[in-house]
Copies of this chain bind each other. A is one copy, B any other.
Amino acid sequence: MAGSPQSVRKRAAEGAADRVRAAILRGELSPGSDLPGERDLAERLGVSRLTLRSAIARLEAEGLVRPVHGSGTRVLDFRETGGVDLVGYLAAQAMEGGVVPFALLRDLLELRRMVAVELVELVAERSSPEELSALRAQIEKQRQVVDDPQELVASDLHFARLLVRAGHNLALELLFNTVVRMIDQHPGLELAFRANAEGTLAVYSRLLDLIETGDGRRASRVARRLVERLDRATLQRISEITGQTYERSGG
């Protein structure tokens, strides 16, 4: 019927959520308007109403939609209410169209830089010796898997997690989790973090040196320069890989 049942192994609810989400992100459903009625929409998507409801619960959690009892399900403006999770979906959507979402990758790197730079200071001030040596050890491990892309990414993330932990800031830790989930749900995003693996490793090592001096402020300042340079190089690398020009968005 409506839906193409072919070889789908995914959960139906998940698929339904994906399709509605995509429609919203593409702007096919204008903010402020209502979603089609559940009964109607369910039929169109080829799922039962309850499966659709499960999907809607998900979209609600993502801040894309707000069901109003007795009235309808409002489509929200995701730029005003959408959660960070959406970055992944937005990127994925762009890549489906064959486009590498440069602006988004850049934005993500910027976000990382913001956090990383200040995190260095927190770590310098708060971390225990054990945490620092764990970080050292992780760098060594990472150096040994530098040829295995998959292992490298995993190792990289692990280092980042240790660093975040050593900052003793729960909000930051949870934000990190969100980003990690985004990355491994939408592997295309790895590009932003993996494209310049060797450079990354060098920076990590240097950061750790700085942290161990205990001078948080200075560490932070230097970290800023390091990460800025790293990110520039990474974006450059990406533009080479994809053959696209690195263009500034927004502005």
Contacts and interface: CB of A to CB of B under 8 A. Distances in A.
Interface of A: 11, 13, 50, 53-54, 57-58, 60-63, 69, 78-87, 90, 103-104, 107-108, 110-111, 113-115, 117-119, 122, 125-126, 161, 168-175, 177-178, 181, 249-251
Contact of A53 (B54, B87, B161): B54
A50 B54 CA distance: 9
Interface of A is mostly: helix
A168 B61 contact: no
Nearest to A118: B114
A171 B61 CA distance: 17
B57 A169 contact: no
Contacts of A119: 114
Given A53-B54, A103-B170, A83 B117 contact: no
Nearest to A53: B54
Contacts of A60: 58
Contacts of A63: 177-178, 181
Contacts of A84: 83-84, 171, 174-175, 177-178
